């Protein structure tokens, strides 16, 4: 029988503690702290994320019978609901934000592009979108969204090739999606796939000036002048490929350069799309396929809402909400890193489900996440009696 470390302790081994200590020192997170440090707080929050606790009380009830294991799990001498709640409310959320970005860099460095990404694009490909987390207005009064409810909005930049979030910005729910573009730093040669709600020509021209490319859908009232047209292959669904200039006074002032307009029909659904981009080199069918990959960010939002705790919060202050969201991003990246280092063939969902029920076991992590081959398992041939039915 293996008598080594707990599974949760083996998971924590993949966390870069020195980088986290630098984040803590940057914001004086451990000032006046006697025993429950920021590192203990991080591990408690990640334990709750991995085992799917619904509330702070639920988390404390689940770990309180294991006080003898607190030291080995990294929780410190003692964990109470008051000190964990106070830590989430008072300790600067930027500690966990900076650490989440450090984990993102590590996850991207060890991840390989998905096999189903078939486009031959050397530069990075990103999808940018936001999702709304509904809250109770009477409790989260600071996040007013509608007259009867509150919400926070998570603006996310996703690396389409690896399905790893590269940038996360949290605002109140009433903040318009397009304002998320103001905090992005664009990479030269990168592709940014945006939904139609982000069509703001002043902001799109900023992407163009940075030497990056954008792909988005045109609005129905787009006013333009056609300059030239290229030959298209209608068998591939491309109806037209045009170079245009914006015609409206304000829009042409905000975006004075030419744009590329592509009309495309999806033969499977018979839906027609109109794309605009500042890239004139990609084949038009690749531009349409690039926009189709934008759906991956919707799948990412669905995944974290279903499998991590970002819909029910363990604190009511803005700081506590941000600490929990960035801890969830850290947990997601940790699952990706463990999968890569152990060369596991299991999906992220399978790894998360296995870890959720084995955190307090003493099984080697590699053995736990190994993928058994069931094809070689044969049922034994038992000689059974045959019963005649009358």
CATH match for 197-283 among 3.30.1370, 3.40.30, 3.40.50, 3.30.1140? 3.30.1370
126: which strand partners? 159, 192
Distance of CA 100 to the CA centre of its chain: 11
Say if CB 340 and CB 110 are below 8 A apart.
yes
Residues of the chain with CATH 3.30.1370: 197-283
Residue 21 pLDDT grade (very low, low, confident, very high; cuts 50, 70, 90):
very high
* Interatomic CA distance for residues 293 and 358, integer angstroms: 34
Please determine, for residue 129, whether its predicted confidence score (pLDDT) is greater than 80: yes
Task: Give residue for tokens 């790894």.
Answer: 351
Mean pLDDT along residues 321-329: 94
* Interatomic CA distance for residues 255 and 54, integer angstroms: 47
Give residue 94's pLDDT: 95
Q: What pLDDT, in 10s, does the model give residues 213-243?
A: 999 999 988 999 999 999 988 888 899 999 9
**Max CA separation in the chain (angstroms):** 89
Say if CB 192 and CB 186 are below 8 A apart.
yes
Angle at alpha carbon of residue 321, lines to 316 and 324, rounded to 5°: 125
Give residue 3's pLDDT: 60
Give residue 35's pLDDT: 86
Angle at alpha carbon of residue 28, lines to 171 and 319, rounded to 5°: 25
Q: Is the dihedral of CA 86, 50, 337, 369 positive or negative?
A: positive
Q: Within the chain, where are the H helices?
A: 7-12, 17-26, 38-51, 56-63, 70-73, 81-90, 94-110, 201-209, 249-254, 284-292, 295-307, 318-341, 348-356, 365-368
Convert 236-262 to b/e letters by CB count within 10 Å (16 or more is b). ebbeebbebebeeeebbebbeebbbbb
Burial of 82 (0-12, 13-18, 19+ CB in 10 A): exposed
Which of residues 113 and 9 earns the better pLDDT score?
9
* Interatomic CA distance for residues 285 and 215, integer angstroms: 12
**CA of 33: how far to CAs of 30, 87, 91, 116, 230, in Å?**
5, 10, 11, 48, 67
Of 335, 283, 19, 16, the closest CA to residue 163 belongs to: 335
pLDDT over 90 percentage in the chain = 53
């Amino acid at each position: 029988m293996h008598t080594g470390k707990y599974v949760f302790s083996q998971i924590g081994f993949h966390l870069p503690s020195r980088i986290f200590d630098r984040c803590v020192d940057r914001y004086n997170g451990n000032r006046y702290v006697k025993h429950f440090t920021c590192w203990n707080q991080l591990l408690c929050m990640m334990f709750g994320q991995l085992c799917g606790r619904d509330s702070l009380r639920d988390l404390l009830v689940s770990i309180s019978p294991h006080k003898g294991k607190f030291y080995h799990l990294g929780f410190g001498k003692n964990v109470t609901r008051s000190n964990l709640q106070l830590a989430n409310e008072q300790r600067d959320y930027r500690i966990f934000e900076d650490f989440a970005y450090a984990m993102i860099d590590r996850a991207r460095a060890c991840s390989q592009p998905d096999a189903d990404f078939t486009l031959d694009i050397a530069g990075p490909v990103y999808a940018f979108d936001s999702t709304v987390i509904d809250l109770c207005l009477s409790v989260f009064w600071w996040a007013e969204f509608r007259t009867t409810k509150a919400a926070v909005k998570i603006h996310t930049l996703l690396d389409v090739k690896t399905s790893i979030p590269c940038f996360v910005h949290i605002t109140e729910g009433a903040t318009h999606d397009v304002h998320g573009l103001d905090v992005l730093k664009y990479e030269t040669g990168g592709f940014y796939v945006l939904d139609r709600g982000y069509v703001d020509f002043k902001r799109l021209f900023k992407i163009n000036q940075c030497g990056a490319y954008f792909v988005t859908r045109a609005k129905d009232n787009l006013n333009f002048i056609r300059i030239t047209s290229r030959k298209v292959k209608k068998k591939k669904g491309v109806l037209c490929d045009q170079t245009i200039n914006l015609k409206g006074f304000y829009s042409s002032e905000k975006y004075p350069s030419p744009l590329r307009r592509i009309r495309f029909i999806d033969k499977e659904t018979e839906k027609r799309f109109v794309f605009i981009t500042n890239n004139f080199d990609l084949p038009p069918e690749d531009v349409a396929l690039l926009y189709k990959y934008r759906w991956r960010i919707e799948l990412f939002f669905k995944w974290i809402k279903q499998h991590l705790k970002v819909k029910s919060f363990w604190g009511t202050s803005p700081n506590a909400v941000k600490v929990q969201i960035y801890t969830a991003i850290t947990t997601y990246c940790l699952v990706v890193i463990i999968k890569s280092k152990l060369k596991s063939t299991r999906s992220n969902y399978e790894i998360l489900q296995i870890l959720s029920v084995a955190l307090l076991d003493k099984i080697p992590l590699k053995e736990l996440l190994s993928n058994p081959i069931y094809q070689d398992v044969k049922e034994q041939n038992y000689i059974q009696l045959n019963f005649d039915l009358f």
